[in-house]
Amino acid sequence: MDTVEEITEAEVDLFTSQRYQLLNKIADQIESAPETYDQAHWGTQKNFDFETCYLDIPSDLVFTNPNVQITECDTTYCIAGFVASMSGWYPTIDYEYDRSRRNVTGISYDYSRVANKPHVNLDRCLSNKTKCDLPDGVVYDEGGIIIREVSRVAKEVLEMNDNDSNFLFASSNEWTPEQLRDIAEGSSPGKVAVQIIQ
C-alpha cells in the first residue's frame, strides 16, 4: 500500500498561490513555445500587418465594434507581460500618426500599459484624463476602465517586493523554465541567478 505524504499548510498555500501557478504556467509556455518569450520587451507583435489585424479605427474609449476583429498577431511577452496577460489584463491600443498628427496610419498594442478590459483606447483615455492624483502605477482610472503599468500589475499579482520584481522583470535577465520554477517555489530571483553563475 502506498503511503501518502502529508502536505503542510505552508505547502498548500505555496502550491495554490498565483505566484506558483503563474510562474509554472509561464515556464511551461516557454518550454513548449520559446518563440513567445522575449525578456527585452513587455510585449510585441511579430510580423504585424495593419491591414490584416485591423479593419477600422476605434474612436471610443473602449473599442467594441462587433463587426471588427482586433487580434494580437504573433505576440511575444516578457515575464511581466505574461503575468499580466495570464491574470486578466490586456494591452492598450495605441495610435500611430503621420507627421501632422492628424491622420492615423496604424494601430498597435501598448504592452507597457495594460487595462482591465480588452481593446482600451490609450490615446483617448489619456487625452480625457483629468485626474493627476492617481496612485503609484495607475495611469488612468475612470468609468470602470483602469490602465496600469504592466510591471506594477505583475508585481502585485505575484506578491513580490520591489527588489525581487525589479530583478525578475529586468530586460537584461533571460530566465529558463527551471529558474522560473525555482522562483515559483519561493526562491528569490537574485539567488536563482547567482546559483546559475556559480
Phi first, then psi, for residue 48 (nearest 5°) are: -70, 130
Cβ atoms of 154 and 79 closer than 8 Å: yes
Are residues 108 and 96 in contact, defined by beta-carbon separation less than 8 angstroms?
yes
- How far, rounded to the nearest angstrom, does the alpha carbon of residue 29 sit from its chain's CA centroid? 14
- What sign for the dihedral angle of Cα 153, 96, 64, 76? negative
CA proximity to 122, closest of 81, 72, 63: 63
Tell me if the pTM is above 0.85. no
Q: CA 113, CA 115: separation in Å to the nearest integer?
A: 7
Domain residue limits, the chain: 33-173
**Per-residue pLDDT tens listing for the chain (198 residues):** 555 566 556 554 555 588 999 999 999 999 999 988 999 887 776 444 444 343 344 444 444 444 444 444 567 889 999 999 899 998 888 777 777 767 667 677 788 889 998 878 877 777 655 544 566 677 777 788 888 999 999 999 999 999 999 999 999 999 999 999 999 988 888 888 765 544
Amino acid at 158: L
Cα 188-193-198 angle, rounded to 5 deg: 125
- Distance of alpha carbon 176 from its chain centroid, rounded? 18
Q: For residue 171, which phi and psi values (nearest 5 degrees)?
A: -65, -20
